[in-house]
Structure formats: C-alpha cells, structure tokens
Amino acid sequence: MIIVTGGAGFIGSNIVRALNEAGEDKILIVDHLGMSEKWRNLVELQYLDYEHKDNFLEKLEKGLFDHGVWAVFHMGACSSTTETDCDYLMRNNFEFSRRLATRFAAKPGLRYIYASSAATYGDGSVGYSDDHSTIATLRPLNMYGYSKQLFDMWALKTGFLKSAVGLKYFNVFGPNEYHKGSMRSVALRAYFQATDSQVVKLFKSFRPEYAHGGQQRDFIYVKDAVRITLHFLERPEVNGIFNAGTGTPRNFNDLAGALFSALRLEPNIEYIDMPEGLEKRYQYYTCAQMNKLRFTGFRNEFMPLEDAVQDYVCNYLQKDPRSEFYAGT
C-alpha cells in the first residue's frame, strides 16, 4: 500500500492520479476535508481507503500501519502563507510531520517523500540553493515557510534525510487547485478575472528595477511537479532535499499574456496596489537552482509557461464544471 497525506489536495491528488495512470490503486488517502469542496478532487481517483488525518495519526501510533506500506508521500499541510495561528501551523505542519516521519524512519524498503516549500527561501537574499549547508541560513518571510524550514532542519539533524526526500516546490499551478481559496495560483485567479470581465489584475511594483507585473516567479506546472516527485519514487538510493521548480523565472505579465492567448482574448492588464502590509513580505523574484536534481538523472524537459497555461485552460478549466462552481468565490 502507498500512503498519500493531503491526497485530496492540489499536489497530492495529482500524485494519486499519476499513480493510477501507472496502474497503482492500493492507496490510502489521508486528509481533512472539513467544509471545503476538496472532496471533488477525489471523485475520479481510484484508491483503497480514506482516513481523516487525526484518526490516521492515532492508528499510526498504535502500529496499525507498521507493515504493508512501501511508500509514503507526505503532502498534507496548511499551505496558507497568510495563516496567523502559529500554534496551528506548528501542530499541523511541524509536529504532525515529525510524528509521521519518526514512525516510518529508516524502515527497510520504504520510500518516503515529503513536501517542503520554496517559501523557506524567504526574500531570496541568500539564494535558492538546495544544498543542505544552506538550510540553517534561510529566513522565511511567513510562519508557513518557517514551519516547513523547521521540519527540514529536524530531518537534517536527526539523519532522517539519509533515507527520505524533501521537495521544495516553487510556484505550482494546474488542475485541482480550486479549493485553495486565496492560495489559488495567479493563473487560476487570472482565468476567472479574464473570463468574467476580460481584464487581469496584477500587483504594482514598489521596486524601480521591476516594472509593474514584472515581478518574477519560477512557475511550474503541476504535471511537471508530479514528474519530479515520482522520479524519486523510482530512485530509492537518492535522498535529501531538492528544489522542485524549472530554473526558468518568468514574470506575471508573461503569465497574463499566455492566459489571454489561450482564451483568444486581447491582453488587458490592470495594475493594482498590494494589500497593506504585504510590501514587506512580497517576493519579487524566485528561481530554483536545478543542478542537484539534474545530477540525479532527471532528464525531462519542463513544459514552457505558454504551453502549460494552454493545457490548463483548454483541457481543464474550460471543460471542468467546477470552473463555473468556483467562479466569483
């Protein structure tokens, strides 16, 4: 059996879909559905069982999953960069992750892959290297990023990373992110704006070296993020922390342009002020260093931004009835 925590979430559900396409359906999905519409991500998936994350942890610590599990994808976390309940983030992102990892640490034949985050890099002033020597030097800009960094540091100090992989996902976008609310990608929010009013709103720049909409991100399509993830499933001898980006930063104007092109609309961008207080926590540039991943034998080419947006819009957003359900929310 394979365990996927956060299996109803954005990246988690796409991992389950890819596993299904590879013929694997003996999957235990662990999540917390609550009052959200996240359950809709599960409808087309094939899996063995579902466990609420709290019930799962209780059963885990009673030893009910000590046998028969050959892979764990720990994608479950509160991913809100604006979450202000630090105790909740510590319980959900750090404590849960530590207890899960401790239970499965160094089990023979078990593959463990977990989600870290590019949010650990903060403002990028010390770079975007995934070398282990940089972990303690990073200064995240929000509590979410710090909760992820804390687990990375724990995994390094305890030796857990000798038998596990942590992936620092950069700006992932693509199918099954509807439920994420304010944490939806700019691509999805822009799609709703463009189809509703034929205009896309982007933040103004407060730094002279960046034009309005010229702020840059390492955008990665979720299909590519999943390919990176499953690459490590096939290479149990490779462990440690790795960036999961493309190594090619693009600006928000490029993203908006790709969206308008996919919709066959004339570009129409409105630049708006950032919410008060965001200026000091805003990242103007992110770019993953990808040498370490490539050294492990990952040879796939990443989908160019324009092609990824085209695929997202034409093969998912315009065909998925959920697009109408979530529009305006």
- Can you give 51-63 as a three-state secondary structure string? EEHHHHHHHHHCC
What does 96-142 look like in DSSP terms, one character per residue?
HHHHHHHHHTT-TT-EEEEEEEGGGGTTSTT-----GGGGGG---SS
The first and second tokens of residue 90, run together, are 């510590």
> Is there a catalytic annotation at residue 180?
yes
Query: Which residue out of 114, 144, 146, 312 is catalytically annotated?
Result: 144
Q: How far apart are CA 6 and CA 184, in angstroms?
A: 16
Of 124, 277, 268, 259, nearest in space to 185 by CA: 259
Report residue 70 as tokens: 């050959």
Which among 53, 107, 180, 204 is annotated as catalytic?
A: 180
Q: How many Cβ atoms are within 10 Å of 262's Cβ, its own excluded? A: 22
Cα separation, 231 vs 167, whole angstroms: 11
Burial code of 161-183, b = ≥16 C-beta within 10 A, e = fewer? Answer: bebbbbbbbbbbbbbbbbbbeee
Residues 6+ apart with CB under 8 A from 151: 93, 94, 97, 98, 101, 114, 116, 166
Q: Which amino acid is at 301?
A: E
Closest CA to 7 of 50, 62, 37, 61: 50
**Residues tagged active-site:** 144, 180
